[in-house]
Chains A and B, each alone.
Chain A
């Protein structure tokens, strides 16, 4: 027995354990304390809190810069990227995060292509990937120049995989600190990106580079704080108050998505009555066409209780997008918000629509569109923003989508943007509420355009215009459209939820034969 112990590999096994423990120290107590003082968690704490407890399985814990004395290890500084798999609500994911406590997460402290290995894991194991980016995310630092004694032509590592992932598995980019350059690109090359208020910033280049390059003096918060991107630029989707809220958002988002495009989105045991008919829906749309209403309240009344997870609330606000459940089945939800610019589709809202429709189409999430669309936003500012081109891309996204799609026309459908509420060349399943109001363009301005000569020739042009408007307005009833099968069904608004819960079961029956990647690739 003694002899066998002597030749076993126990010393090396002990060494593995010792080195795994050393890696837990990250950049050392001082740097860890500094990270905490900045109101941030370390990468290992983040991973622990994101995943189901105790499920993290690390890859590459032994990777580090070692120093030896007489052949014995005296110290090892771990690589500044922590990688592995774990579970979220019991479902496996790949997670990788920069360790800011080691050289600020910059490339010169990276070792081999650990990050790229994580991307490959996600692709070949067909698992969702969560990137916790804190630092330059593998991007360069001028210090590299000093160490290498030469420059290099920049290349984005593993970028073919990073791009391909978007068409195959859910990708989440979490901006967890001051993130520049390649790190910023990694955050936004995702289906869902978020930032933590005040402790994270995102930019192409930080304040010192900006000052030297374009002469602007700005703080990093002014330059790339979460308000800049989540409430303006649209570079990230959601803004959260704390890192824990970030993990909650990521876990929630993934709960609606399949692990990859070859799987059906996961149904949850339903916790709401599919036959629920809400009285309020009968009067939620004001009879006065000029009055708006709370569209999020409408959604809450129809969808499974508390199941709506909004994506991109602060950007492209005339369009509300999010994931939700109907009788436990995940669906994509689009809705126009009449209280934001009247609900008119502007360039940012069109951009938001492209990304959202592509997300749903990629992961085979059936879509429900609550339509109250006055048309593309009009006016000089809208023209200068290129609304028609971005808007046409939104149209293209709807027409390229092949997921089951249903529209609930709650009020207006006007113009080209209104026409894109669904794909008119397909079944274009839809139900109109009695408040339905539609046309190629609104009567008010349209009369002036179409009957100009008639109006100008009249003895009292103003009266003539009003008479014409009144005459045409009388033809505006949606019942006349229904008579001509121009709208297939008009419904009691209270029946919306029972109808949708019935539809979603049909939609999910179709999905198993529709799985796999789309011919259209996904772009950030």
Chain B
């Protein structure tokens, strides 16, 4: 059911985006880090593919479930 959407695992801010558009990723690769409730949470790719779009930058505030980036197969 993965639609390639990578979403925020918590409310907080984006600490780092570790990929750029066009980066090839494998399932489970770390693609971003979000800080929530003072914990740094690694965000991983739900499936292998290529980063198609990035919707956030380091420092952006995010809510749980916000779209961070998308991965195309």
Chief secondary structure at chain A's binding surface: loop
- B20: CB under 8 A from chain A? no
Partner of A444, one of B10, B38, B63: B38
Cα A157 to Cα B27 with chains together (Å): 49
Partner of B9, one of A227, A341, A375: A341
> Are the C-beta atoms of A342 and B1 separated by less than 8 Å?
no
> Are the C-beta atoms of A227 and B1 separated by less than 8 Å?
yes
Q: Which of the candidate stretches A117-125, A160-168, A376-384 sits at the interface with the other chain?
A: A376-384
Cα A227 to Cα B3 with chains together (Å): 12
Interface residues in B1-38 (C-beta closer than 8 Å to A): 1, 9-12, 35-38
Q: Please, which residue of chain B has its CB at the minimum distance from the CB of A339?
A: B41
Partner of A374, one of B1, B35, B39, B63: B39
> Are the C-beta atoms of B39 and A339 separated by less than 8 Å?
yes
**Chain B interfacial residues counted at CB < 8 A:** 15
- B40: CB under 8 A from chain A? yes
> Are the C-beta atoms of A290 and B11 separated by less than 8 Å?
no
> Are the C-beta atoms of B9 and A289 separated by less than 8 Å?
no
Interface residues in A398-426 (C-beta closer than 8 Å to B): none
Partner of A341, one of B1, B10, B40, B42: B10
**Chain A interfacial residues counted at CB < 8 A:** 25
- A343: CB under 8 A from chain B? yes
**A374 contact set on B, CB distance < 8 A:** 37-39
Interface residues in B46-66 (C-beta closer than 8 Å to A): 63-64
Given A227-B1, A381-B63, A381-B64, answer yes or no on A338-B39 (Cβ-Cβ < 8 Å): yes
Q: 8 A–B contact pairs at CB < 8 A?
A: A290-B35, A291-B39, A292-B40, A342-B10, A342-B41, A344-B37, A379-B63, A381-B63
User: Interface on B for A, CB 8 Å cutoff?
Assistant: 1, 9-12, 35-42, 63-64
User: Interface on A for B, CB 8 Å cutoff?
Assistant: 197, 227, 289-292, 317-318, 338-344, 346, 374-375, 377-379, 381-382, 442, 444
Not counting A197-B1, A338-B41, a sample of 14 additional A-B residue pairs whose C-beta atoms are within 8 angstroms of each other reads: A227-B1, A289-B38, A292-B39, A338-B39, A339-B41, A339-B42, A340-B41, A342-B38, A346-B64, A377-B11, A378-B37, A379-B11, A379-B63, A381-B63
